[in-house]
Each structure stands twice: as C-alpha cells, then as structure tokens.
Structure 1
C-alpha cells in the first residue's frame, strides 16, 4: 500500500517544507526528508532563530538545541551545542551511532568532531551587531510571535506511511547561559509513534516543557482524537497551568497516520507549512486568545 506523502512544519518556512516535500515525492524516506528539510533553515543566516546566525545567549555564545525521531521510535538529541550549524545532523548521529539519546555541551561538540563535522563560527556579523545593541540596555522582554525563538519543527510521512520528525532551534534570544528549551526534549518539543502520528511544538519552551505537550497529543490521537482536537487539548492544558498565558505564545502542529493535520496555539499569529501533492502552502493556525 502506498501512502500520499505529506510534510508539515512550524511557522512560514517555505524553503524547508519544499525541500522535504520534493524529496518525499521522489521516494525519499521520511527520516532523510525531515533532516534535510530543517537543515535548510539551519544554514540560512537570515534566520536568527535556527542554526548559523542564531541569536546568542547573554554571554554572546550561540548554542543550539535539536532532536530527531525515526519511525522505529529511536531518538537522538543535542543540547547546548556550539560550533556546528547542523545540530539536527549531529542529533541523528547521536541516535544512530551511540547508545544514548542526548549529548550536551562540550561532549556533544567532541562527538560532532569525531563524526567528521567541522568546527564552525555560528555568530555572524549581523547577530554580533544585534548582540552589541542588546548589551546597551540588556532588556529581556520576549514579544509574542516574534520572541526570536521560532523553532522549526517538522513532521514527514513518506510513501510507505512511515513518519519521522525533527526539531531545531537556537533557543530564546539572550537567554541565560546554559538554558535549554523544549525543542530537543523528546515528548515536549517532538514526539511520534509510527502507529499513530506525531506532534511538534514551538513558542515559550518553559511552558511546553512542563506540559509534555507533544507526547500528550500523540496519546490523545491514539485514543481517537483528531490531530486538531488533540492540539486544542494540549493548549488548554498549558493555559490551565499558566495564569499568565496571555503573555506568551505556545503552538503545536500534529499529523496522524491517515495524513490528517491539526494546529492550535494560544495567541493569534502562528502559522504552519504543508507540502502535499506538489502544493507548498502556509496556513494560519486556529487560536485560543
């Protein structure tokens, strides 16, 4: 049985979804497509929220978080990774070449070198200039929908019906040194079960971490909820847990085994990409507030 391939991704990253979608149409596996898809944004220095050119922490260092899951349920992740543009590819190597799921900091960097990844400078002239400007006031006031932590999370289903997912981010701009968000944490930023579907998150990582929202969505779909209803319930849980929910954004997208898609967020303004049947489209998400 052949399935109709589909790619979905957070925010308006058409180049990333196009790359993954075209790969799926050509017969690529979901795992290869999802990795190559998010790598497009990791390499784009105009994107200050992912990969090279990402906004630094308060010490001026660019640190990356990423994770990846394959259809078998295996996972790999890196946190506080420096000197490597393609954090998602290092995460895949963690999944495939080590007995571990997560590598952090210096250990993740050492592992990347051992796997042939060359050391890179991630702080670009533009991000360095923005950091120097930030230092003048050192204000830390994330703004809804432009918090500068617009993670790219992606889910792909290939022609065999297999689902894979990836999530990669440079985290909150001017975050505390050592801060890790939801993006590399399996169950929070990303979760999938190949028999059911998958979900990815974006927004204020601290709120998403506490809700284990992506795992929740997959379990709700297992119980019969549509991707849309499952995303709505995950957001409802975050709102219930956080009386200050009007002050931040949290968003989910989900895909089930039938190829149905859902999306929901707290605040108006979140959108997601979908590539299917040669159409690469951006959709505005339904929202609570």
Structure 2
C-alpha cells in the first residue's frame, strides 16, 4: 500500500524480560474514511527485524455498501510487499499484468526489485455488499545484490500453506520455516512469517534458531517471563534465547524475523534502497512516467512534494 513512513516518535515500553530487546506500541494513524493504521516499523530505535522494514496493521474497519478501499497505482523499488488479511478482500493489480483477489489467510508476495507499480482496491462484489477489513502490510527489504532483480508476484491460497494444529493453538506458516515445517513461498533471503492463533492458557514456543525474531500481537494478551503484554504490540527479542509465550486470553499473533541484512536501508515514500542515488532515480522515473503502467487503471498517486 502507499503509506508514507513517518518519523514521528512511537511510544515504547521498557522491556523487563531479559530476552526482550524492545517493545513497540504502534503509532495509530487515521488515513481517512475511518481507516485506521497502526505502524510498528520503522521505529526510531529499530529500523528492521531481520529484513522486515515496514509493518502496518490496518483496520478493523467496516465499509458500508458502495464504499471500499481505493489505493491508486503507486510504485515500489528494492523491497517485497506482503499483504495478509484476517477479514475482507483486496483486488491486487500490478504493472507485470498480475491480477489477484487477496483473501484471508492467503500469502501474497510482490517483489518489486528494480521497479513495479500496483493498485489495491476493494473487489466489486464486496464493494456492493460492504465488508469488514482487518489485515497487515509488511515490507521485506531486499539484500545487497538482489535489490534490482526482476519484479514478480507469488500467490498461495490459505489452503496451500502448511498448518500445524496443537491442542490449544494453531499456526499457519506463511513464509520460511516455523515449528519444523516450511512454507512453499520462494524468497531471496532467509526470513519467516507465521500466524499463530492461541487459546487462553496455550503455551507457544518461539524458535531460538532465527537470528532476529519478533512477535506482533494483533489482539489478545500474553505473558512472557512473568510480564504481560497486550495487543497491539511488537515484541522484539534478543538472539538465542528460548522463549515460551503464554496466552492469558485468546490471542492472535504473528511470529516474524530472519537474517539481518548487511546494512541499513534508506526509505522514502514507497522506495527502499541501500543507495540514496537510486531512490532519487526512482523519484524521477515515477514523476516522468518511466514505470510501466498498471493494466485496467487510468489514474495514479502523484509523487509527494
């Protein structure tokens, strides 16, 4: 989606659990029409967790009949976007010709690489009937050597992603590996993303083998090492420690992280790059119409001034 990352300060809690490095309370932003966004990354004290460089939690919002989301075509470079829904539907269209309705539980990975444009709109059927929307949008920064790869799009329906079901929690492995099982999604660097739904009293382990790890609490509450945390929160952990997450009420959360990139990234609007000059070039390319157009679209979001 096309949301300018903000440098506004984001509230943080001091982490009293030794394994916790940082606790981020996402900053709530109203994008209009009652559409609420909670932004956890980037943060003043932490740019990335693994390659996750942007993390937005949108909704819940209820669209009435005839209304919907309309994110006009906009560009990306140097990243991959992950759109993951809990409720509602989004129609994705991009300049590579991909058209895909995004449904809850599905994995949708758009790799921008050297450049792609896309739009995100409410599908016509849901626009006519009205719909509730709740989901997450994440950006995965691409590693050095892969920032200029060819753009692409991968879609896996919810039923195509591996699931584990324990007595008191379930987990869908969206990308990478968790709980000893691997997602079929292809990636250019090691990272993982897993939805966990836990009943009250569930004890859920967080894999210690990942270099960088975090848990995003969508809703509910957990206890870790005697401390309680309620959603929405992003809990960022130090490497190596074994973590057990105890759900003190029904909880929905995302396990995420991966290998750290070789260095920081520059972010401007929808562009991510290790090079400031590359971002300046992307600005000019969008302003002068050098990105390929999105088929069936006749409007676009102008370059911010």
Please give the range of the TM-score, normalised by the shorter of the 2 chains: 0.3 to 0.5
Give the number of the structure whose residues are more often helix, by fraction. 1
- Relative to the length of structure 1, the TM-score reads 0.32
Tell which structure's C-alpha radius of gyration is larger. Answer: 2
Give the number of the structure whose residues are more often strand, by fraction. 2
- Relative to the length of structure 2, the TM-score reads 0.31
